[in-house]
Amino acid sequence: MTKTYQKFRSRVSTVSLLIILGWIGLSTRLFQIMVIQSDEYKKQGISQGQKNEKLVAIRGNIYDRKNVALTQNIIHYSLGAQTLKIKDKTLFAAKISNVTGRDVEYYINKLNTKKSFVPLEHKLRQSRVKTLIGERIPGLVIERKSRRSYPQENIAAQVVGFTDIDDRGLTGIEKEYNSHLTGKAGWVVKQVDGKGRSQIKTSFPINPPIDGSNIQLTIDLEYQSILHEELNRRIKETESKGAMGIMIDPQTGAILAMASIPDFNPNQHALFPIENQKNRVITDQFEPGSTYKIVTATAAVATNAVSLYEEFNCKEGKVNIAGKVISDHEKFGLLTFPQIIAHSSNVGMIKIAQQLGREPLYRFSRNFGFGTQTGIRFPGEAKGKLRKTKDWSEMSLAEVSIGYEVGVTALQLASAYAAIANGGFLIKPRLVKQILSSKGEVIYTEKPKIIRKIGNPEIMEVVKDMLVDVVEYGTGSKARIDGWSIAGKTGTAHKFIDGAYSNKYISNFAGFFPAEKPQVVGVVILDEPKYGYHWGGYGAAPVFRRVAQRIINVDDTIKHQEPKPKDLPKILIADDVMNNPLVPLSTYQDGYAVVPDVRGMSIRKAKKMLIKSNLRAKFKGSGHVVWQSPTPGTKKLPGTICTIGLN
């Protein structure tokens, strides 16, 4: 053992011990990494070399019943910068500037920040960022997004609704069917290199996104545009505060058009009052006035409370109920049941209601769907107002019978008139025709659903005839269309404001066409039109006529139906009498007036004969009767007008 060894022995031993201990430690750590924690570090290594990226699903679109797009998805791109990965900020800013057209200094100022990520641009078209996508600039983040667009703008805006910046539905169909429209996001695994750049590897897993379903509505864009235009036109003519309308297929409950004014543009919804986003046809209730008289009329016919040819003394247009005087819009004397409806006599209607009674009136109000929601799948539906009879006052029977002390929505009113039009069935209104997957497969179809039967077709036919008379010679004459049979009812109601009835009005009209075989039911409401247009027959009825006329002109499926043989109007010449002798006719049959044969008679004699049969006459020409319509022997409601040709 040398002196040198002895001199450094302690040091050598210490170093050797440290090397041995270090080796043991490294071996232990290596064993821990390679054996004990191998799975954990394997996952960490994979995560550093791979990246999961979300694949966004494209939102489904909304279409009208003819597959016209009511929504669109516009693809756009957002640019951002990961500042720590940018080596030359000036060069980076110059490349972005060449694409966007902004000054280089603008981007340099944005990049001079302590933040690790800074947004640069939003909503750029693909054509503008195409070169950037292919260049793969370090630190540049390009994100593909889609933006919701509404090509029809204000048309059907309250029905369709709109989305927020994250493509979540906020109103209308967009909100109600958001889960169907949204779809399901997917993902893809990408390989990441040492510089943080990612790329797709075909061997890495991918789960494609499932795009949202498309929704086809029952709305017809042509109908919707017509209704929208005519409501706006009438608001200007009548200086109304607002207006709303709805068109519905009475056979299926499909809503063909639905609009309320003022409205908004969903592409710029922030520029309009939030109130304009409401679909008032469904959300707002009002007292309808005389359009509600169909309930009283149907109940009276169904229960045989009143006969069709019974006359009522309307007392020169006034009646006192519990100390309150209720007036007619003009003075009437004796009127039959159909004439009361045609001329919209409040006094006559109240007398009919008094013979009917509270319970039947309430029961039929419920049967028609008033006071309850229709069940339509749409946000914010109001159920209206209809108090139980135990809560009625002495005035209530009279008030309810003429459309006061009740709250209805335009949708409820349309559903009620649809029940008359289709022969007595209350049908659930619907907005959605079907839902289709992104691949075009039908995943849901909303079929017509009958809620309840209100009455027999024979009952509804009687009420329908009364509504035809309203348009033919009553308060709804401004809804008449030459060559077409229109059924409808006018309504005028004081608005209830701050606990009292005001001098502001709701003018409304409800009807359907063609009356023989109804295909379209329509309701039009004007809110606070100027005086003179506040009457339903002068304010709302012309809108119905204009809308119906335009629909008839553009839609070949709307066919004029020939009346049943018994009601077939036929021009008969007086010379035909000898060849076609008629058996003498009785004045009434089952409550109907029977048209007498007045051919060959003088005006005076023909008029006397018609009055005796409780019919009214409209003469054309002068001299003796040479033709008449309807045909002799036809059964018509008392008070019906017969056209008499003279020569």
Mean pLDDT check: name the lowest of 102-116, 125-139, 519-533, 568-582: 568-582
Q: Report the distance separating Cα 240 and Cα 520, nearest Å.
A: 25
pLDDT band at 52 (very low <50, low <70, confident <90, very high): low
State yes or no: pLDDT of 192 exceeds 70.
Answer: no
pLDDT band at 564 (very low <50, low <70, confident <90, very high): very low
Between residues 249 and 572, the one the model is more confident about: 249
Per-residue model confidence (pLDDT) at position 51:
59
Q: Report the distance separating Cα 403 and Cα 352, nearest Å.
A: 14
Three-state SS at 25: helix
Q: Report the distance separating Cα 114 and Cα 116, nearest Å.
A: 6
Per-residue model confidence (pLDDT) at position 107:
86
Q: Report the distance separating Cα 423 and Cα 612, nearest Å.
A: 31
Fold of 565-646: Trypsin Inhibitor V; Chain A (3.30.10)
Q: Which long-range contacts (CB under 8 A, 24 or more apart) does 231-235 make?
A: 231/259, 231/261, 231/524, 231/543, 232/261, 233/546, 234/526, 234/539, 234/542, 234/543, 235/261, 235/526
pLDDT band at 202 (very low <50, low <70, confident <90, very high): low
Q: Where in the chain is the domain with CATH 3.40.710.10?
A: 221-554
Q: Report the distance separating Cα 595 and Cα 615, nearest Å.
A: 8
Q: Where in the chain is the domain with CATH 3.30.10.20?
A: 565-646
State yes or no: pLDDT of 545 exceeds 90.
Answer: yes
Q: Report the distance separating Cα 555 and Cα 462, nearest Å.
A: 29
pLDDT band at 603 (very low <50, low <70, confident <90, very high): confident
Average of per-residue pLDDT values in the chain: 86
Q: What percent of the chain has pLDDT over 90?
A: 53
Please write the tens of the pLDDT for every residue from 366-407: 999 999 999 999 999 999 999 999 999 999 999 999 999 999
Beta bridge partners of 258: 246
Residue with tokens 């280089």: 104
Tell me how far CA of residue 229 lies from CA of 35, 63, 269, 281, 481, in angstroms.
77, 20, 20, 16, 19
Please write the tens of the pLDDT for every residue from 402-437: 999 999 999 999 999 999 999 999 999 999 999 999
Per-residue model confidence (pLDDT) at position 69:
96
Between residues 33 and 312, the one the model is more confident about: 312
Give the relative orientation of helices 293-302 and 346-356 as an angle to the nearest 10 degrees: 40
In this structure, what token pair is assigned to residue 306? 């009143």
Per-residue model confidence (pLDDT) at position 3:
67
**Residue 228 DSSP symbol:** H
Q: Report the distance separating Cα 369 and Cα 415, nearest Å.
A: 8
In this structure, what token pair is assigned to residue 69? 């797009």
Residue in 357, 383, 374 with CA at minimum distance from that of residue 452? 374
Q: What is the b/e burial string over 463-474, where b = at least 16 CB atoms within 10 angstroms of the residue's CB? A: bbbbbbbbbbbb
pLDDT band at 197 (very low <50, low <70, confident <90, very high): low
Taking residues 13-25, what's their average pLDDT?
Answer: 81
pLDDT band at 5 (very low <50, low <70, confident <90, very high): low
196-200, 236-240, 579-583, range with greatest mean pLDDT = 236-240
State yes or no: pLDDT of 568 exceeds 60.
Answer: no
Please write the tens of the pLDDT for every residue from 55-69: 778 899 999 999 999
Per-residue model confidence (pLDDT) at position 27:
81
In this structure, what token pair is assigned to residue 589? 């049959």
Q: Report the distance separating Cα 304 and Cα 310, nearest Å.
A: 12
Per-residue model confidence (pLDDT) at position 424:
96
Q: Answer yes or no: are the C-beta atoms of 139 and 81 closer than 8 Å.
A: yes
The pTM score is 0.77
Residue in 229, 358, 344 with CA at minimum distance from that of residue 289? 344
Q: Where in the chain is the domain with CATH 3.90.1310.10?
A: 53-155+186-214
Query: Which three-class secondary structure string do you get for 543-570?
Result: HHHHHHHHHHHHCCCCCCCCCCHHHCCC
Please write the tens of the pLDDT for every residue from 277-333: 999 999 999 999 999 999 999 999 999 999 887 888 887 778 889 888 888 988 888
Three-state SS at 69: strand
pLDDT band at 94 (very low <50, low <70, confident <90, very high): confident
Three-state SS at 415: helix
Structurally, what CATH architecture does the domain formed by 221-554 represent? 3-Layer(aba) Sandwich (3.40)
Element (H, E) at 341: helix 337-343
Between residues 512 and 311, the one the model is more confident about: 512
Residue in 473, 549, 544, 481 with CA at minimum distance from that of residue 510? 544
- Any residues with CB less than 8 A from the CB of 7 and at least 6 apart, and which? none
In this structure, what token pair is assigned to residue 542? 């012309």
pLDDT band at 527 (very low <50, low <70, confident <90, very high): very high
Q: Which CATH number fits domain 53-155+186-214: 1.20.140.10, 3.90.1310.10, 3.30.70.260, 3.40.50.460?
A: 3.90.1310.10
Q: Report the distance separating Cα 644 and Cα 571, nearest Å.
A: 9
- CA torsion angle for 307, 313, 314, 318 (degrees, to 10)? -140
Mean pLDDT check: name the lowest of 104-108, 114-118, 199-203: 199-203
Query: Which DSSP string do the residues of 427-489 spell out, in sequence order?
Result: E--BSEEEEE-TTS-EEEE----EEEE-S-HHHHHHHHHHHHHHHHHSTTGGG--TTS--EEE
pLDDT band at 7 (very low <50, low <70, confident <90, very high): low
pLDDT band at 50 (very low <50, low <70, confident <90, very high): low
Please write the tens of the pLDDT for every residue from 635-646: 787 778 888 877
Between residues 323 and 478, the one the model is more confident about: 478
Per-residue model confidence (pLDDT) at position 49:
57
State yes or no: pLDDT of 45 exceeds 60.
Answer: no
For the chain, give the number of residues: 647
Per-residue model confidence (pLDDT) at position 276:
95
Beta bridge partners of 520: 513
Tell me how far CA of residue 641 lies from CA of 154, 180, 271, 545, in angstroms.
43, 54, 53, 21
State yes or no: pLDDT of 565 exceeds 90.
Answer: no
Three-state SS at 633: coil
Mean pLDDT check: name the lowest of 81-90, 472-481, 524-533, 576-585: 576-585
Query: Which three-class secondary structure string do you get for 107-143?
Result: HHHHHCCCCCEEEEEEEECHHHHHHHHHHCCCCEEEE
Q: What angle do CA 253, 255, 257 make, to 5 degrees?
A: 155
Q: Report the distance separating Cα 468 and Cα 424, nearest Å.
A: 17
Taking residues 538-564, what's their average pLDDT?
Answer: 86
Please write the tens of the pLDDT for every residue from 246-259: 999 999 999 999 99
Three-state SS at 249: coil
